[in-house]
Amino acid sequence: MKFAILLPLVISLAFYLYNRYFITLDTPSDTSENLSKMASVAKFAKNANPFPTYFFSHGGPTFIYENDDFGNKGAWNTIKKLGTNIKKNLKPDYIIVVSAHWQSSGSNLIEIAIPKKRNQENELIYDFYGFPNHMYKEQFHSKNSYYVAEQIKQHLEEKGFNSTLTERGVDHGVWVPFKVAFSDYNTLTKNPPENPGLDLPDTAVIQVSLTSNDRDFVKHFKLGEALSTFRENLLWDEEKKKYLTGLVICSGMSVHNLRDLGRSFSQPGGVMPYVKPFNKLLTDTLTKSDDLLDGLLKLQTNNKTLLYNAHPTLEHLVPVVVASGIANNKLPVKELYNDQLASLGWGVYQFGPDVKL
């Protein structure tokens, strides 16, 4: 008797569920709606084909120009080729970039740059001195993403960092190599168009700082581990109702000793004797270490003289440490290019396999 009473209720419930979750999913609008509801719960979803992380040696403003004597043509061509692939093929929704030229005010603080106004472009910081006037007229046009910046901040705090959004432009450690990678004009080749538009129209650029302590490799390795989440996962954007893909670029120099720049011209070949050995040591550490952090720490403990000749201060090296944290012994690392000039090293590295398009 009870079964006879319950049977119609069971059938009605089954019919409702069938219509609600099977028939309705056949229509594109309902499919999108249901996926949106699911995605709003899952902020991150596994990226089946994540992008590599790159380390660029960025040089000074002279690097903008392919044939400048104080740039490096090989590095220029390598970064131009990578940029063309990123812009035309990979097409990330956002790029997180870590530059040697922004250290926070705290040993556990990571700052994230945002423009003063929500829809404003990233301003350029011309943080170099004594160069020809035309270099201060160079342009690179990129947008930011308040949403992605806030997600980075929240995630870093979850990983134990202090983090804050800071109204700031992007420094030359970002826009100089990005101009090489993603722009097709400069003040020596052709004048910028009156209304050039964005050099990366479909990709936001969000700069993330280092900490104040450039000797703390452990903390910067952990920063890389935290940022790896944005490489390995898609990020749901509730406003755009889509998952976003992210790519990370770290920008420094494989060797950076401006103190010896003048002395280098009297050296054989115009190169300081420590540049090539340190470039090789760094490449071997990155490509052959079973434990990347241990290998990098040995640079500090076992190779102090060579390290501090190559990097009297370490801010241009720690972006390599951040990229190593992203790899975290799980990804292959390869040297894409290297060279030496004066007291500078021009290493370009890839962390992670090529993307199968």
Give pLDDT tens digits for 104-149.
999 999 999 999 988 899 999 999 999 999 999 999 999 999 999 9
The residue-averaged pLDDT of 211-232 equals 98
Name the DSSP letter for residue 50.
P
Task: Please determine, for residue 6, whether its predicted confidence score (pLDDT) is greater than 70.
Answer: no
Angle between helix axes 318-327 and 292-301 (nearest 10 degrees) is: 160
Model confidence band, residue 16 (pLDDT cutoffs 50, 70, 90) = very low
The residue-averaged pLDDT of 265-289 equals 96
The residue-averaged pLDDT of 8-21 equals 40
Model confidence band, residue 38 (pLDDT cutoffs 50, 70, 90) = very low
> Amino acid identity, residue 24?
T
Residue 274: Cβ-neighbour burial (10 angstroms; 0-12, 13-18, 19+): buried
Q: What is the pLDDT of residue 189?
A: 83
Task: Please determine, for residue 44, whether its predicted confidence score (pLDDT) is greater than 60.
Answer: yes
User: Collapsing DSSP states into helix, strand and coil, what is residue 149?
Assistant: helix
Q: What is the pLDDT of residue 14?
A: 43
Model confidence band, residue 239 (pLDDT cutoffs 50, 70, 90) = confident
Name the DSSP letter for residue 267.
S
Please, what is the Cα angle at 254 between 248 and 257, to 5 degrees?
130
User: What are phi and psi for residue 221, nearest 5 degrees?
Assistant: -65, -40
Cα–Cα dist 324/179, whole Å:
24
Model confidence band, residue 20 (pLDDT cutoffs 50, 70, 90) = very low
Pairing between β-strand 333-337 and β-strand 340-341 as defined by DSSP bridges: unpaired
> Amino acid identity, residue 12?
S
Task: Please determine, for residue 293, whether its predicted confidence score (pLDDT) is greater than 80.
Answer: yes
Task: Please determine, for residue 7, whether its predicted confidence score (pLDDT) is greater than 60.
Answer: no
Q: What is the pLDDT of residue 351?
A: 98
Please tell me the chain's helix, strand, coil percentages from 3-state DSSP, rounded to the nearest 5. 45, 20, 35
Phi-psi region of 59 (alpha: psi -120 to 50; beta: other; left: phi over 0): left
Specify the pTM: 0.88
Angle between helix axes 275-288 and 292-301 (nearest 10 degrees) is: 150
The residue-averaged pLDDT of 216-233 equals 98
Give the tens place of pLDDT for each residue, 88-104.
999 999 999 999 999 99
